Amino acid sequence: MSLTLVGISHHVAPVEVRERVALEPDDAAAVARRLGDAVCLSTCNRTELYLAGDSDEAALATLEELAGGSLATVAYRLHGEAAAAHLFRVSAGLDSLVPGESEILGQVKAAYEAAEPGPLLDKLFRQALQVGKRVRTETAIGESPASVPSAAAALAQQVFGDLAGRRVLLVGAGRMGELAASNLATRGATIAYVANRSFEAAERVATAFGATPVGLNELAKYLGDVDVVLSSTGAPDHVIDARDVPGKRHNPLFLIDIAVPRDVDPGVQGLDGCFLYDIDDLEAVVAETLSVRRREAEQAERLVAEETARFGAWQSSLDAVPVITALRAHAEELRSEELDRLGTLNSEQRELVERATGQLLNKLLHLPTVRLKDAAGEPEGALLADAVRRLFGLGEGR
């Protein structure tokens, strides 16, 4: 049973490509169901399809359909242990824009739970979740929590020097928006307004920060009254257009767009006094955290390698299962034939004979079973399995 991964991420594709294949959870689950035995993981920084089988062409075609064009130059394809190792690194936060961030583990879990995986993918994703937990428990890579929202707040502080008294318009009241608001408030900023498609959600977050809730259709009215706009909605199109930004301002307007697809019209960057940063621009902020996390990341990589080897050994052991099953079935058939030849036995005699022959069969098959499993995945494994087939005539009929 083979494992295939096809995907794109921030490592290989810019945000304008990633946003075309970014999927809401329900849509990601629908894509997985359409592909069969599959799981679709779609976040701000990646869209990846994990499949049981070798259908990487079907997976790539699905991504290209979403993108509306070829992804041949940016999509990666991984198989077997390489695909498993990649998912384990993703789950551990080692492949994230901000190494060690914790949000990805929940996203991996949600993608897995929304799909209908078969035995291979079920094992893979369960182990991936365990890897993520091990890394966070056994290393200090997340002791100084870093995430896209916190990196965005750090970038705002770099631009203004001091966020005390800076007024913020938060666009999007989801988890990312709340985290961003918390990070900005911790650094001294004032959350002045919270805008969201659902006004009730905007009220809930606004109440937590002493802000004013507003509707998405009112954004243009408040852009002239804030210093920072941080946008993180799940809208399919821009929610802030260049025409919404007032032409005359006393202070610079700093806009951080961490949504995928992007919330802010890129044309805003060309307006006087406006400074627009998207999720790709956060890489410079993230780079500053790498040096202090490198040692812990190395330990996390060792854990990932260890878990990858375990998964590989498990997957290889599956190759021995058909031979072991056939050998046991063959032995059981012979035992059943010999029991039938004994003629009429009372129930007590029958039970004693069946128990004795069953125990004998188990003892005889125990060592061959162990040896077949141990050799699976090794060069001699296939030879040993073939030898067992030949010695016992498995699959030849009788």
Report d(CA 291, CA 273) in Å as an integer: 33
Report d(CA 354, CA 270) in Å as an integer: 85
Catalytic residue among 44, 67, 169, 276: 44
As a whole number of Å, the CA-based R_g of the chain is: 28
Pick the closest to residue 97 from 56, 150, 135 (CA basis): 150
DSSP assignment of 259-273 equals -SS-SB-GGGGGSTT
Beta strands in 228-298 (DSSP E): 228-231, 253-257, 274-278
Cα 355 off chain centre by: 49
Report d(CA 286, CA 154) in Å as an integer: 10
Convert 13-50 into a string of H (helix), E (strand) and C (coil): CCHHHHHHHCCCHHHHHHHHHHHCCEEEEECCCEEEEE
Token output for 192: 């002045």
Pair 24, 235: CB distance under 8 Å? no
> Which is it for strands 274-278 and 253-257: parallel, antiparallel or unpaired?
parallel
Report d(CA 251, CA 5) in Å as an integer: 48
Q: Is the peptide bond before 379 cis (omega within 30 degrees of 0)?
A: no
Cα 111 off chain centre by: 7
Give the CA angle between residues 292, 298, 302 to the nearest 5°: 155
Report d(CA 23, CA 38) in Å as an integer: 15
Pair 241, 264: CB distance under 8 Å? no
Residue 274 annotated among the catalytic residues of the structure: no
Report d(CA 203, CA 173) in Å as an integer: 9
The torsion of the CA quartet 210, 285, 140, 298, rounded to 10 degrees, works out to 160
Active site residues: 44
